[in-house]
Amino acid sequence: MPEVTYVATDGSERKVEVPQGRSVMHGAIQNGVRGIEAECGGVLSCATCHVYVDPEWVDRLDPPSEDEEDMLSNTAAERRPGSRLSCQIEVTDDLNGLRVQIPETQS
């Protein structure tokens, strides 16, 4: 199963196996990774599952949709080049080893 590493603001890391086809958000919620709220459950309604994708991974993801793009301009924590909504990143074998950082706040 692909493994995703979530890096907290204090630098601590949490590695989680996420089933293929599930989202990076799902992996965080089901494993109690702190700092990802996902208030709307992953339907592009709240922007509280914001993450910073590590630079080496950014280009290996499908680019954000127009709606996600618009929402990324409205996140609670500042937008950076690797900003994504983790509900929109579907985990595949190709993403085994993906690293994402959790922002300081979601709301």
Partner 1 sequence: MSDGLVVLGASYAGVQIAVSARESGYEGPIAILGDEAELPYQRPPLSKGYLSGKVDDATLPLRSAGFYEEYRIKLHLGTAATAVDRRGRAVVLADGTEHRFDRLAFATGSRARTLSLPGADLDGVYTLRSLADARQLLAAMRTAERAVVVGGGYIGLEVASTLVTAGCQVTVLEASDRLLSRAAAPPLAAFVTEAHRSRGVEVVTGVQATRLLGEAGRVTSVESTDHVSRPANLVLVAAGAIPNGELAVASGLACDQTAIIVDACGRTNEPEVLAAGDCAATRQGAAVLRLESIQNATDQGRAAGKAVAGRAEEHPVVPWFWSDQYELKLQMAGLVAGYDRHVIRGRTDSGRFGIYYFRAGRLIAVDTVNKPGEHLTARKLVASPAGITPEAAADESVNLRSFLKAAQPAS
By the criterion CB under 8 A, which residues form the site for partner 1?
Answer: 22, 26, 29-32, 39-45, 47, 67, 69-71, 73-74
Looking at the Cβ atoms of 5 and 54, the one nearer to partner 1 is: 5
Nearer to partner 1, 39 or 56 (CB): 39
Nearer to partner 1, 30 or 56 (CB): 30
In terms of C-beta distances under 8 Å and separation of at least 24 residues, what long-range contacts does 45-48 make, across chains too?
47/71, 47/72, 47/74, 47/75, 47/76, 47/85, 47/106, 48/76, 48/106, 48/107
Query: Whole-angstrom Cα distance, residue 5 to residue 47?
Result: 20
User: Closest approach of Cβ 41 to partner 1, in Å?
Assistant: 5
Rounded to a whole number of angstroms, the minimum distance from the CB of residue 88 to partner 1 is: 11
Smallest gap from residue 27 Cβ to partner 1 (A): 10
Query: Of 77, 29, 73, which Cα lies nearest the Cα of 52?
Result: 77
Q: What angle do CA 56, 43, 83 make, to 5 degrees?
A: 25
Q: Which is nearer to partner 1, 101 or 106 (CB)?
A: 106
